[in-house]
């Protein structure tokens, strides 16, 4: 098969339109399975792989993260395929006090965690980039995201530090994640005004489902306003995480789970019904239909990021890349719901 590629913002680079999210590799996904998925992804023409320094502290109590980056570093060392991939990682979302982010039942406390991210201060980002390079066993990162927008640190301080690591050759391009649209525009304006690198990608939670009305406090989910902004500002590409909503398109039981919290309501019910109908028409899974729909979007174009835990989940996604939906089916999907 031929992997589709798209330009990544104003970077001058093209990346595979499917990105392999490596969040669970090295924790819930063992090394042999992880290596197998990475090998297959690149063999099939995939280039864009995604991780973060925080992955995956919440799967191992006492961990500060770094397991995913370290596994990718071992894969680079084993295969020599560093130059075959466009490598993205992130900083600013490490936990600064592990004792504060686990509840009495031994579960990660995400409300507390959001109060204990290490943030996007200049010294921290410079240190985090060096630590990631060491774990990844490479001399450069192709795309470095601010993982969690840090409103307690002046944007100028963050951008100055990112400019320094780009000038040093440690990072080639920068991006932002989990960020409000107005903040993204302020970041962009300050970068242009000061001659600092401009973000070329924004990684947000985005799917075929639309966020429910009245959703407050969630900076991670793409809104209509943010889509409109990205249509106008073509120098940034949307990288969509949780695009398959953790299997909810394939398993109706998951449509009642916590992952649906940003989307729950009649609009999503109507969209699930349309996906189910078209999946039956084309003899595909719901997830494959949604992936085909996402990859067909061009206004704005979307990179779909999948984060499989198992080889079965990974293999299940691939038919969505070659699934051909008719114009009528694409229009039905787009117009379903409100």
Chunked into runs of 10 residues, the chain (338 residues) has average pLDDT values of 91 97 98 98 98 96 95 98 98 95 92 94 98 98 97 97 98 97 97 98 96 80 94 95 94 88 93 98 98 95 96 96 96 93
**SS3 assignment, position 203:** strand
Q: What does the radius of gyration of the chain's CA atoms come to, in whole angstroms?
A: 19
List 314's β-bridge partners, or say none.
none
SS3 content of the chain, % helix, strand, coil (to 5): 45, 15, 40
Buried b (16+ CB within 10 A) or exposed e, 316-335: bbbbbbebebeeebeebbee
CA–CA separation, 245 and 243 (whole Å) = 6
Instruction: Write down the domain spans for the chain.
Output: 5-247+286-324
Q: Of these residues, 55, 144, 145, 208, which one is catalytic?
A: 55
Confidence (pLDDT) at 338: 76
Handedness of CA 146, 147, 150, 153 (dihedral sign): negative
Residues near 40 by beta carbon (within 8 Å), at least 6 away in sequence: 314
Q: Where are the beta strands (DSSP E) in the chain?
A: 5-7, 14-16, 18-21, 48-50, 86-91, 141-146, 171-177, 201-205, 237-241, 302-306
Q: Which of 135, 128, 50 is nearest to 93 (CA)?
A: 128
DSSP annotation of 323:
-
Confidence (pLDDT) at 217: 67
Q: Is 55 a catalytic residue?
A: yes
Confidence (pLDDT) at 218: 84
Cis status, amide bond into 56, omega within 30 of 0: yes
CATH 3.20.20.100 fits 5-247+286-324, yes or no: yes
CA–CA separation, 287 and 290 (whole Å) = 5
Confidence (pLDDT) at 25: 98
pTM listed for this prediction: 0.96
Residue 332 and residue 280 in contact, taking contact as beta carbons nearer than 8 Å: no
């Amino acid at each position: 098969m031929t992997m589709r590629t798209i330009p990544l913002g104003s970077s001058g680079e093209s990346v595979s339109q499917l990105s392999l999210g490596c969040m669970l590799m090295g924790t819930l996904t063992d090394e042999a399975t992880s290596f197998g998925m990475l090998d297959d992804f690149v063999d099939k023409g995939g280039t864009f792989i995604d991780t973060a320094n925080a992955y995956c502290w919440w799967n191992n109590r006492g961990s500060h993260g770094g397991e995913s980056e370290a596994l990718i570093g071992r894969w680079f060392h084993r295969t020599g395929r560093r130059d075959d991939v466009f490598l993205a990682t992130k900083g600013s979302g490490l936990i600064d006090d592990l004792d504060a982010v686990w509840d009495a039942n031994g579960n990660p406390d995400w409300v507390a965690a959001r109060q204990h991210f290490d943030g996007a201060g200049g010294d921290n980002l410079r240190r985090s980039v060096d630590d990631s390079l060491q774990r990844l066993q490479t001399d450069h990162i192709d795309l470095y995201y601010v993982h969690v927008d840090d409103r307690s640190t002046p944007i100028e301080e963050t951008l100055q530090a990112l400019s320094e690591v780009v000038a040093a050759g440690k990072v080639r391009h920068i991006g932002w994640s989990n960020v409000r649209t107005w903040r993204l525009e302020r970041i962009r304006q300050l970068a242009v005004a000061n001659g600092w690198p401009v973000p070329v990608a924004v990684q947000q939670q985005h799917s075929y489902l639309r966020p429910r009305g009245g959703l407050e406090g969630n900076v991670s989910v793409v809104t209509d306003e943010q889509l409109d902004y990205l249509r106008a500002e073509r120098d940034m590409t949307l990288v969509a995480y949780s695009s398959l909503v953790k299997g909810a398109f394939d398993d109706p039981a998951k449509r009642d789970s916590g992952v649906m919290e940003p989307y729950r309501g009649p609009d999503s019910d109507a969209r699930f019904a349309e996906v189910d109908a078209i999946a039956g028409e084309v003899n595909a899974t719901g997830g494959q239909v949604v992936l085909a729909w996402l990859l067909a979007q061009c206004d704005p174009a979307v990179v779909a990021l999948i984060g499989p835990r198992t080889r079965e989940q990974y293999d299940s996604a691939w038919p969505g890349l070659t699934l051909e939906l008719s114009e009528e089916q694409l229009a039905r999907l787009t117009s379903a719901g409100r």
